[in-house]
Amino acid sequence: MIRLEQLCKQYRLGGETVTALDQFTLEVSAGEYLSVMGPSGSGKSTLMNMLGLLDRPDSGEYWLNNTAMSTLSEEARAAQRNSQIGFVFQAYHLIDRLTARENIELPLVLKGEAPGQRRPQVQALLERLGLDRHADHLPHQLSGGQRQRVAIARAVIRKPALLLADEPTGNLDSHSGSEVIALLEGLNQEGITLLVVTHDQAMGERARRRLWMRDGQLISDSAGADHAAG
């Protein structure tokens, strides 16, 4: 489903050039559950941004569902983000003047769906994630764990194939953190391809496939044997 070929991304900081991704190559099949770990600054977020089409690589190619992403227009990339990719951020990124329900609804609103079509989908998801009592609360009235669950609901409302979570538990206590992880894993079991960036060793170990990064390079892949061969 995903193929990254020799992806490079460099940043210029003052006079210095920082290599965030260095010839990064990776293949992910549909339905996989991966964790990405590595020291701070190793390029994990940069990788997620590439996969989420939030940024463009300097060189290399990103194939998503056998389409080369570099060939797409900015508008087509936006459509891909809307329909194919769900993103969960460490900082939630909820819109603070919108209620939980309205935040979850946003991808459908952007798609241009009618309110009548949107309502049942949002309601179903609210109930599934145990958020129906908080549906009309504003983000500041919710706990961190609840906020992240709203953000996850928003990420999957369009039933994307790919769910990217960049340190989704980074701002949460361990209890809400494991709740959130359980939720993500549940979604993965239903078929969504899941990539989670985490600093938490134990959490990373739960993934069926674990990636380690350093200095923008993939230094270890638990499925390494097969992939190195292939």
**Residues found near other proteins in the complex (CB under 8 A):** 49, 52, 54-55, 74-75, 78-83, 87, 89, 93, 95, 97-98, 106-107, 109-112, 114-115, 154, 158
Tell which one of 42, 45, 148, 193 touches Mg ion (CB under 5 A): 45
Looking at the Cβ atoms of 22 and 102, the one nearer to ligand ATP is 22
The torsion defined by the Cα of 221, 227, 228 and 230, in degrees rounded to 10, comes to -170
Q: Residue 18: name its binding partner from ligand ATP, other proteins, Mg ion, none (Cβ under 5 to 8 Å by kind).
A: ligand ATP
Expressed in angstroms, the distance from the first to the final Cα of the chain is: 15
Shortest separation between residue 94's beta carbon and other proteins, angstroms: 8
Among 8, 18, 72, 79, which residue sits at the site for ligand ATP (rule: CB under 6 A)? 18
Residue 86 to residues 48, 205, 212, 213, 222, Cα–Cα distance (Å):
11, 22, 22, 22, 24
Contact 29, 58 (CB under 8 A): no
Task: Report strand pairing: 193-197 vs 33-37.
Answer: parallel
Is position 195 an interface residue for ligand ATP (rule: CB under 6 A)? no
The stretch near ligand ATP (CB under 6 A) out of 34-42, 124-132, 135-143, 219-227 is 34-42
Q: Tell which one of 2, 26, 32, 43 touches ligand ATP (CB under 6 A).
A: 43
DSSP string, 124-157: HHHHHTT-GGGTT--GGGS-HHHHHHHHHHHHHT
- Hey, what are 161's tokens? 């194939």
Locate 157 and state its tokens.
Answer: 């409302």
| In the complex, minimum distance from the CB of residue 40 to ligand ATP, in angstroms, rounded to a whole number | 3
Site residues for ligand ATP per CB under 6 A:
11, 13, 18, 20, 38, 40-46
